[in-house]
Amino acid sequence: MKVLSIQSAVAYGHVGNSAAVFPLQRIGVEVLPVHTVTFSNHTGYGAWRGPLIAPEDVREVITGIEERGVLSEVDAVLSGYRMLKVRGPMHAPLFDRPVLFAMTRKKAIVEFLL
């Protein structure tokens, strides 16, 4: 089984791809991790450092996977969230553009309930 995992990555802590990849690999799943952020730690600590990965850059990584002929072999897409600063408090919407991009490449129909 192959899983495309489009999630965050942190250096300290266990969330997103930093939490999902190893356990999935341990049970025999081949994971293709695509990062949406690279943070120092989970945002729940109140302070963190590191970049958000632009949706266009995430899409480029997915396109590269597709160009290798591997995207057609993906059995599932696992997705997380993307943090955005919106004039004050933090807002955590689904980062639907890269996920929908991956899913449309798989010819799947996805409905997101917000």
User: For the chain, which residues make up each domain, given as ranges?
Assistant: 2-105
Q: What is the pTM of this model?
A: 0.74
Q: Percentage of the chain surpassing pLDDT 70? A: 70
Q: Which residue has the tokens 């450092």?
A: 49
Q: Is the pLDDT of residue 82 over 70?
A: no
Rounded CA separation 35/20 (Å): 12
In the CATH scheme, what architecture does the domain 2-105 have?
3-Layer(aba) Sandwich (3.40)
Q: Which pLDDT value is given to residue 26?
A: 95
| pLDDT tens by residue, 32-74 | 999 989 999 998 898 999 998 988 888 899 889 989 999 888 8
| Nearest CA among 36, 28, 35 for reference residue 75 | 28
Let me know the angle formed at the C-alpha of 8 by 5 and 12, rounded to the nearest 5 degrees. 125
